[in-house]
A and B are shown apart, each in its own frame.
Chain A
Amino acid sequence: MSDVIKLGHPVPNFELNAYFPDKKDFGKINLDQLKRDKKWTILFFYPADFTFV
């Protein structure tokens, strides 16, 4: 995995464990799949659950 990200350049793939509220279930989400689905991705980081976003 490249250790630098830059605007205008491809970012490395990632895979995260995730909770899916619409399905009320756990799963995984990864960027390669989103790219195959032709989707834009917005990563929205925040400090911690049970705080404001």
Chain B
Amino acid sequence: MGAEIITVSTDTIYVHLAWHRDEKSLVNVKYPMGSDRTGELSRLYGVLDEASGNALRGTFIINPEGVLLNSEVNYYNLGRNIDELMRKFKANMYMAKKANEACPSSWKEEGDKTLVSPGADMVGRVHEALQKS
């Protein structure tokens, strides 16, 4: 799909290997597992917990030009919804092709209703715009 998912923690690459080898739920995980031992990258993205040296559950979508288009950070105990991540990722890819369209919260995949050229005529009329086929 033209994307690289990189998982990042402050563990070493050796622990990454050991975890991937031992944890059965990771059998199908093929993403590169990045090691941010110094915490430099985690700190730059605002997810480093300085007290523990751990990275919080941050997700960042960067386009092929290197521009950051999405960020989400959950504190320790809240897991992420992968369906929502993929929805946001697909929406960003779609809008990169269709610069005059916007993907509302109901948008899930290409072909779903978008808002075209949101402008003055849509003020107070979003409901009607979403009903139009």
Contact = CB atoms under 8 A, between A and B. Distances in A.
B130 to A, nearest CB: 25
A5 B45 contact: yes
A17 B16 CA distance: 11
A39 B42 contact: no
A52 B35 CA distance: 17
A37 to B, nearest CB: 8
Interface residues of B, number: 61
A19 B17 contact: yes
Given A11-B66, A17-B34, A45 B56 contact: yes
Interface of A: 1, 3, 5-14, 16-22, 26-27, 29, 31, 34-35, 38-50, 52-53
